[in-house]
């Protein structure tokens, strides 16, 4: 099977700190990582390939340095990686991103399944996967926690819902977005790391993929950011006063009186 | 093509833009700001410059005729004929928006034998319900629901469409917005009408909640947003409200590629504290690795599990498998005790979806208190043992 996995570079948030004077995010020294949810998508793509044969191609859109990051996916077993990078793509919202990715997919060629992580950890929108499926005119299923069966032209999978799960079948080609419950990603092998060092990641421009510039980047984005500000948390906090013994008593009383919703 | 550049003559080298850039894409060269290739054209720097030295040219987007679009719509998501709470919450919010625009509020209700739900939607603020009722629509299906929603938008041209950021809403909304090539803003926490331009201002968290961004969709219609459950407030139901139920003439899609074979509901019920999933986590504030014994004892008393902050794991006080946060586990228990944890952003990212958060910390300014439902300012080494004896006495 020909499998395409879409991944995004996101800031590795372990070092995210706020500058208290300017109220902005300190980004110095923040490493870039593959979006954690996409790592599960890469792993699942490799597992399918190991069962059915075929090829896993990783596709991303971003700044030129993302090419280096994509080699991490080669190290764990992806066959090829391609980066879409061009000033024309800058400022893309999810619609313009989905359009550019769809043109990249078309240039890669025939595919059976496209996998994405359920969302990226920087934007958290979860919109690109379904939007990409729409641009390609293929069906999609989000929040896939298990692939029950996959074969030529057919997939049956479990989608996590708010109170359980659904079993959904679709013909291939199709797009799925995966949740972290789907697998346990492997670490890179020594052989994989050697191979990733030798691999060149091709960089395709808007012209290379035949994209209409008016539909890419800022020009192709219906949404615009007009203002940014630092949030004020507004949880209704109740401070419990008193000596430790009293505090413990009051808290215990409140908790014992509460009812908690549970899902088994 | 859109471009951004520093007008070197106007730049005084104050570095405000360097600090404002969320992408670290501006640096100083010979005392002037220079925009690097890593710029994403987000435009945050433009307003930071006090000297109008940043020139940001946006392309003129080919504008569609937006004047024909009117009214606010809410997706009346339902299960077994019962509207989802978030749909009612969005009607409450949609009512405000519609009133400000002097337009109508409508709900879109898709399902099988769901007419009763239409009445509930009207009682919660809808002026009109577009009801599409068909046996094939019993279960949510991305393909058929998206197809019908798009037909309705094309026929009735709403100005604003709101959907709950549920599993289904977050799948349906991007499919619909992508087909009609309009903008969609996910997980909005605030919606308001710009009083002058009469457009929707959508505010949502970005960068893991570190930054809020206000987003508009000025040239495309409808303006679409998703909103998470429990963010907006429903109106008290008023059964005397009069609304219109419209049964639009849509083509029910046949020959669907996507088939839902089984819907499994893993039942929800209410439990008391003794049955709730509980995590008790310890942080640097417990002072010494041996004090994890106390954290463990509280967890055991409540039948819960032990968590830890990254700082304690890095210091070797406890194994990595206990770490909660961005680089550890993401948890969402019913009750989360943060004992001596200051609440770094990375930790919050791993536990802020817990139903009830209890923070115990001696520093009243610790960020953990901002997300806590109950806060105790005090010495963990005194409060936690007090809690242990309190709960032991109550739970036997």
Q: How far apart are CA B73 and CA B157, in angstroms?
A: 10
> Does the distance separating the beta carbons of B355 and A63 come in below 8 Å?
no
Cβ contact B338:B368 at 8 Å: yes
**Confidence band of A121 (pLDDT split at 50, 70, 90):** confident
Same domain membership, residue B108 and residue B43 = no
Question: Which ipTM was obtained for this model?
Answer: 0.87
Once rounded to an integer, what is the mean pLDDT over residues B230-245? Answer: 92
**Confidence band of B269 (pLDDT split at 50, 70, 90):** low
Q: Would B213 be classed as within a structural domain? A: yes
Cβ contact B277:A264 at 8 Å: no
Per the DSSP assignment, residues forming a β-bridge with B265 are: A164
Same domain membership, residue B204 and residue B88 = yes
Q: Does B363 touch chain A (CB under 8 A)?
A: no
Burial class (CB in 10 A: 0-12, 13-18, 19+), A29: exposed
| A interface test, pick of B58, B171, B173, B294 with most A CB neighbours within 10 Å | B171
Same domain membership, residue B201 and residue B125 = yes
Q: Which residue of A has its CA nearest to B60?
A: A219
Whether the upstream peptide bond of residue A173 has omega within 30° of 0, thus cis, is: yes
Which residue do the tokens 């077994």 mark?
B80
> Does the distance separating the beta carbons of B217 and A222 come in below 8 Å?
yes
* For the ranges B148-157, B197-206, B369-378, the one whose mean pLDDT is highest: B148-157
Q: Does B8 touch chain A (CB under 8 A)?
A: no
Same domain membership, residue B233 and residue B186 = yes
Cβ contact A12:A21 at 8 Å: no
Once rounded to an integer, what is the mean pLDDT over residues B87-95? Answer: 97
Q: What is the 3-state secondary structure (H, E, C) of A31-49?
A: CEEECHHHHHHHHHHHHHH
Once rounded to an integer, what is the mean pLDDT over residues A25-48? Answer: 85
Enumerate the H helices of chain A as residue ranges: 36-52, 66-75, 94-108, 128-136, 190-198, 244-257
pLDDT reported for residue A153:
97
Kindly report, residue by residue over B339-350, the tens digit of the pLDDT.
999 998 878 877
Q: What are phi and psi of A69, to 5 degrees?
A: -65, -35
How many A×B Cβ pairs under 8 Å?
319
Once rounded to an integer, what is the mean pLDDT over residues B7-29? Answer: 87
Q: Which residue of B has its CA nearest to A89?
A: B40
Q: How far apart are CA B195 and CA B29, in angstroms?
A: 41
Comparing A185-189, A204-208, B31-35, B54-58, the range with the smallest average pLDDT is B54-58
Higher pLDDT, B144 or A123: B144
Length of chain B in terms of residues written: 396
**Residues in chain B within 8 Å Cβ distance of A157:** none
Closest CA to B86 of B284, B264, B257, B225: B225
**Residues in chain A within 8 Å Cβ distance of B358:** 251, 255
> Does the distance separating the beta carbons of B265 and A16 come in below 8 Å?
no
Reading the block at residue B81, the tokens are 């004929």
Q: Would B309 be classed as within a structural domain? A: yes
Q: Does B67 touch chain A (CB under 8 A)?
A: no
Whether the upstream peptide bond of residue B174 has omega within 30° of 0, thus cis, is: no
H or E element, residue B170: helix B169-179
Cβ contact B116:B133 at 8 Å: no
Once rounded to an integer, what is the mean pLDDT over residues B17-34? Answer: 86
DSSP A81: E
Q: Does B378 touch chain A (CB under 8 A)?
A: yes
Kindly report, residue by residue over A65-114, the tens digit of the pLDDT.
999 999 999 999 999 999 999 999 998 999 999 999 999 999 999 999 99
Q: How far apart are CA B365 and CA B347, in angstroms?
A: 16
CATH number at residue B195: 3.40.50.620
Closest CA to A14 of B21, B25, B370, B350: B350
Q: Would A191 be classed as within a structural domain? A: yes
Closest CA to B73 of B253, B241, B246: B246
**Which residue among B40, B182, B207 sits closest to A90, beta carbon to beta carbon?**
B40
What value, to the nearest 5°, has the Cα angle with vertex B4 and ends B3 and B9? Answer: 130
Q: Would B79 be classed as within a structural domain? A: yes
> Does the distance separating the beta carbons of B22 and A27 come in below 8 Å?
yes
B24: left (phi over 0), alpha (psi -120 to 50) or beta: left
Q: Would A128 be classed as within a structural domain? A: yes
**Which residue among B139, B215, B394 sits closest to A226, beta carbon to beta carbon?**
B215
Same domain membership, residue B234 and residue B136 = yes
H or E element, residue B96: helix B85-101
Reading the block at residue B236, the tokens are 């008290």
Q: Kindly report the nearest CA distance between residue A57 and chain B, in angstroms.
A: 24
Question: Concatenated DSSP letters for B125-157?
Answer: T-SEEEEEE-GGGSS--HHHHHHHHHHHHHHH-
> Does the distance separating the beta carbons of A261 and B355 come in below 8 Å?
yes
Q: How far apart are CA A229 and CA B154, in angstroms?
A: 35
pLDDT reported for residue B142:
96
**Confidence band of B209 (pLDDT split at 50, 70, 90):** low
> Does the distance separating the beta carbons of B213 and A227 come in below 8 Å?
yes
* b/e map B249-278, b = 16+ CB within 10 Å: ebeebeeeebebeebeeeeeeeeebeebbb
> Does the distance separating the beta carbons of A94 and B265 come in below 8 Å?
no
Same domain membership, residue B106 and residue B208 = yes
Q: Kindly report the nearest CA distance between residue B242 and chain A, in angstroms.
A: 32
Is the model's pLDDT at A264 over the cut of 50? Answer: no
Length of chain A in terms of residues written: 264
Same domain membership, residue B384 and residue B290 = yes
Is the model's pLDDT at B33 over the cut of 80? Answer: yes
pLDDT reported for residue B21:
82
Q: How far apart are CA B217 and CA B159, in angstroms?
A: 11
Same domain membership, residue B10 and residue B48 = yes
Same domain membership, residue B307 and residue B233 = no
Same domain membership, residue B242 and residue B315 = no
Q: Would B272 be classed as within a structural domain? A: no
Q: Does B375 touch chain A (CB under 8 A)?
A: yes
pLDDT reported for residue B274:
61
CATH number at residue B12: 3.30.70.20
Same domain membership, residue B78 and residue B41 = no
Domain that holds residue B9: 3-57
**Residues in chain A within 8 Å Cβ distance of B38:** 63, 65
Q: Which of residues 249-278 of B touch A (CB under 8 A)?
A: 257-273, 275-277
**Confidence band of A225 (pLDDT split at 50, 70, 90):** confident
Q: Does B166 touch chain A (CB under 8 A)?
A: yes
| B interface test, pick of A223, A239, A242 with most B CB neighbours within 10 Å | A223
Is the model's pLDDT at A234 over the cut of 70? Answer: no
Q: What is the mean pLDDT of chain B?
A: 90
Q: Would A234 be classed as within a structural domain? A: no
H or E element, residue A17: strand A17-19
Q: Which residue of B has its CA nearest to A240?
A: B376
Q: Would A228 be classed as within a structural domain? A: no
Q: Which residue of A has its CA nearest to B373?
A: A237
> Does the distance separating the beta carbons of B212 and A231 come in below 8 Å?
yes
**Which residue among B173, B273, B385 sits closest to A256, beta carbon to beta carbon?**
B273
**Which residue among B178, B185, B345 sits closest to A223, beta carbon to beta carbon?**
B185
Q: Kindly report the nearest CA distance between residue A72 and chain B, in angstroms.
A: 18
Comparing A254-258, B96-100, B217-221, the range with the smallest average pLDDT is A254-258
Q: Would A232 be classed as within a structural domain? A: no
Q: Would A186 be classed as within a structural domain? A: yes
pLDDT reported for residue A14:
40
Higher pLDDT, A28 or B45: B45
- How many domains, in total, are found in chain B? 3
Q: Would B181 be classed as within a structural domain? A: yes
CATH number at residue A158: 3.40.50.620
Is the model's pLDDT at B29 over the cut of 60? Answer: yes
Q: Would B269 be classed as within a structural domain? A: no
Residues ≥6 apart with Cβ < 8 Å to B321 = none
- How many domains, in total, are found in chain A? 1
Q: Kindly report the nearest CA distance between residue B387 and chain A, in angstroms.
A: 5
Reading the block at residue B86, the tokens are 């978030």
pLDDT reported for residue A15:
42
Residues ≥6 apart with Cβ < 8 Å to A69 = A9, A32, A33, A34
Higher pLDDT, B374 or A163: B374
Which residue do the tokens 């909660």 mark?
B324
Q: How far apart are CA A249 and CA B86, in angstroms?
A: 35
Q: Would B268 be classed as within a structural domain? A: no
Q: Would A251 be classed as within a structural domain? A: no
Q: How far apart are CA B309 and CA B286, in angstroms?
A: 11
Kindly report, residue by residue over B133-169, the tens digit of the pLDDT.
999 999 999 999 999 999 999 999 999 999 999 999 9
Is the model's pLDDT at A28 over the cut of 70? Answer: no
pTM (two decimals): 0.78
Q: What are phi and psi of A9, to 5 degrees?
A: -80, 130
Same domain membership, residue B221 and residue B81 = yes
Domain that holds residue A119: 2-215
CB atoms within 10 A of CB B313: 19
Q: Does B201 touch chain A (CB under 8 A)?
A: yes
Burial class (CB in 10 A: 0-12, 13-18, 19+), B100: middle
pLDDT reported for residue B3:
81
Q: Would A220 be classed as within a structural domain? A: no
Is the model's pLDDT at B295 over the cut of 80? Answer: yes
Q: What is the mean pLDDT of chain A?
A: 90
Is the model's pLDDT at A23 over the cut of 60? Answer: no
**Residues in chain A within 8 Å Cβ distance of B391:** 252
């Amino acid at each position: 099977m020909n499998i395409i996995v879409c991944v995004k570079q996101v800031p590795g948030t372990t070092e995210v700190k706020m500058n208290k004077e300017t109220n902005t995010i300190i980004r110095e020294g923040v490493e870039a990582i593959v979006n954690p949810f996409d790592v599960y998508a890469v792993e699942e793509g490799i597992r399918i390939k190991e069962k059915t044969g075929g090829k896993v191609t990783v596709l991303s859109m971003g700044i030129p340095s993302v090419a280096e990051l994509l080699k991490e996916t080669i190290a764990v077993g992806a066959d090829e990686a391609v980066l879409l990078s061009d000033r024309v793509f800058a400022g893309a919202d999810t619609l313009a991103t989905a359009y550019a990715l769809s043109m990249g997919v078309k240039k890669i060629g025939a595919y059976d399944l496209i996998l994405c992580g359920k969302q990226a950890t920087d934007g958290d929108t979860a919109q690109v996967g379904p939007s990409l499926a729409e641009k390609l005119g293929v069906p999609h299923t989000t929040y896939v926690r298990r692939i029950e069966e996959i074969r030529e032209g057919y997939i049956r999978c479990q989608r996590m819902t708010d109170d359980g799960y659904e079993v959904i079948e679709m013909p291939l080609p199709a797009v799925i977005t995966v949740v972290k419950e789907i697998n346990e990603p492997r670490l890179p092998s020594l052989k994989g790391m050697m191979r990733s060092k030798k691999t060149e990641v091709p960089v395709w421009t808007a012209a290379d993929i035949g994209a209409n510039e008016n539909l890419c980047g800022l020009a192709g984005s219906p949404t615009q950011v007009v203002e940014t500000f630092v949030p004020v948390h507004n949880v209704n906090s109740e401070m419990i006063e008193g000596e430790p013994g009293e505090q413990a008593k009051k808290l215990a009383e409140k908790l014992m009186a509460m009812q908690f919703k549970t899902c088994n | 093509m859109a471009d951004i550049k520093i007008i070197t003559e106007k730049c005084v080298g104050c570095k405000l833009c360097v600090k404002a850039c969320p992408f670290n894409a501006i640096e100083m060269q010979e005392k002037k700001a220079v925009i690097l290739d890593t710029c994403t054209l987000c435009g945050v720097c433009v307003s930071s410059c006090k000297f109008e030295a940043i020139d940001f040219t946006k392309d003129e987007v080919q504008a569609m005729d937006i004047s024909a679009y009117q009214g606010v719509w809410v997706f009346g998501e339902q299960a077994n004929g019962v509207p989802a709470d978030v749909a009612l919450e969005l009607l409450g919010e949609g009512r405000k928006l519609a009133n400000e625009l002097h337009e109508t509020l409508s709900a879109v209700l898709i399902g099988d034998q769901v007419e009763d739900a239409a009445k509930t939607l009207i009682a919660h603020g809808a002026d009109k319900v577009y009801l599409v009722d068909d046996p094939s629509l019993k279960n949510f299906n991305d393909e058929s629901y998206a197809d019908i929603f798009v037909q309705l938008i094309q026929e009735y041209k709403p100005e604003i469409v709101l959907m709950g950021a549920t599993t289904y809403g977050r799948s349906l909304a991007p499919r619909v917005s992508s087909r009609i090539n309009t903008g969609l803003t996910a997980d909005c926490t605030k919606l308001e009408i710009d009083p002058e331009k009469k457009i929707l201002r959508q505010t949502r968290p970005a960068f893991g909640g570190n930054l809020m961004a206000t987003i508009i969709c000025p040239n495309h219609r409808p303006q679409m947003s998703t909103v998470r459950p429990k963010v907006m407030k429903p109106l008290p139901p008023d059964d005397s409200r009069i609304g219109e139920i419209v049964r639009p003439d849509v083509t029910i899609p046949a020959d669907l590629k996507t088939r839902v074979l089984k819907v499994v509901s893993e039942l929800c019920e209410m439990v008391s504290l003794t049955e709730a999933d509980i995590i008790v986590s310890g942080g640097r504030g417990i002072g010494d690795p041996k004090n994890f014994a106390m954290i463990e004892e509280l967890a055991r008393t409540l039948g819960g599990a032990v968590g830890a902050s990254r700082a304690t794991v890095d210091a070797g006080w406890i194994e990595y498998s206990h770490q909660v946060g961005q680089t550890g586990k993401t948890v969402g228990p019913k009750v989360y005790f943060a004992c001596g944890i200051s609440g770094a952003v990375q930790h919050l990212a791993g536990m802020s979806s817990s139903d009830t958060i209890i923070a115990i910390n001696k520093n009243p300014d610790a960020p953990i208190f901002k997300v806590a439902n109950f806060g105790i300012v005090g010495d963990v080494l005194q409060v936690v043992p007090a809690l242990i004896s309190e709960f032991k006495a109550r739970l036997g």
